């Protein structure tokens, strides 16, 4: 084995990761137009993200909508999953490893998510930088 072989193999790692990410995006559905219309106005003042795909060690979860405010991370899943506790625990663990204390809750129904968005909008505004840092962590661990 020579040096060029090693360079070729190492060079394939980023390409392979990009290919896997592309395949996962193609498989995911994203947020529906009706769901987006229902929550876009409520989530506008919040730090948020749409069309997220998270992978735990056991399962892949599509989270079409996600917001962060004052140490609260709230998400909505359109698909039915047996349990969302594994996802909530995974997100909490990843964020806490970076030194932030958070409360993560993922909702299965759009009505429950909208109710939570209304209540989270009433919370006092905190440092926007902290919310952005938490959102950045979530983007780093999502596809």
- Which pLDDT tens digits describe the chain residue by residue (143 residues)? 678 888 888 888 888 878 877 877 777 777 778 887 888 888 777 888 888 888 888 888 888 889 998 888 999 998 888 888 999 999 999 999 999 989 999 999 899 999 998 888 887 777 788 888 988 999 898 87
Plot region of 107 (φ>0 → left; ψ -120 to 50 → alpha; else → beta):
beta
Plot region of 70 (φ>0 → left; ψ -120 to 50 → alpha; else → beta):
left
> Residue 61's CB: how many other CB atoms inside 10 A?
22
CA 74/CA 64 separation, integer angstroms:
11
* pTM of the entire predicted model: 0.77
Strand pairing category for 60-69 and 72-76? antiparallel
């Amino acid at each position: 084995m020579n040096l060029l072989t090693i360079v070729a193999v190492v060079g394939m790692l980023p390409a392979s990761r990009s290919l896997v990410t592309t395949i996962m995006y193609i498989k995911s559905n994203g947020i529906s137009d009706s769901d987006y219309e229902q929550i876009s106005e409520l989530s506008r003042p919040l730090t948020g993200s749409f069309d997220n795909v998270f992978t735990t060690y056991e399962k892949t979860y599509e989270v079409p909508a996600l917001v962060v405010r004052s140490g609260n991370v709230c998400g909505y899943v359109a698909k039915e999953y047996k349990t969302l506790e594994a996802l909530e625990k995974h997100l909490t663990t990843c964020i806490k490893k970076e030194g932030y204390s958070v409360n993560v809750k993922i909702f299965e129904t759009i009505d429950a998510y909208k109710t939570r968005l209304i209540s989270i909008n009433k919370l006092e505004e905190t440092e926007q930088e902290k919310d952005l840092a938490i959102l950045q962590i979530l983007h780093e661990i999502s596809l």
